Structure 1
Amino acid sequence: MSRLVPCPHCLCDSYIRDSEQMTRLTRELTLICKNPVCGHTWVAHLTATRTLSESATPHPSVHLPVTKGLFSKN
């Protein structure tokens, strides 16, 4: 399932123009509104915050809290 990010001004769909890895858990995204009348360009951060299903190949430096629930192995 794909979700689009709404523009914070006009709420129209936006697209990711660029993406840069900041840390192992965070990416900085540059977004552009698809509404030509608005034309807003902004930066957002995408950050991993918790685990729903644990990795079969975990990286030793990644420490995310595990949320017990629908996708949990426990």
Structure 2
Amino acid sequence: MTPYEEIAAPRDLHADCEAVSRRLEHAAVKATRPAPSLHFDEQPRETGKREIQISEAAQRLANALHLHLD
């Protein structure tokens, strides 16, 4: 094995650079958005609670730890 065997092909490296560039552009757009308001009257009034689903595996694990998620 030579030291150069682990280096990726140029097209793979180029694809990685393009992916990073897209991510950085997306992050720059998010970073330059204005901050959300902290004023109480500008916050949403009614927000529904999310449903929490407990899987059978989580139920068994919780019961084994005596957490009882019934």
TM-score interval, normalised by the smaller of the two chains: under 0.3
Structure (1 or 2) with the greater helix fraction: 2
Query: Which has the larger share of strand?
Result: 1
* Bigger-Rg structure (1/2): 2
The TM-score, its normalising length taken from structure 1, stands at 0.21
TM-score scaled to structure 2, two decimals? 0.21
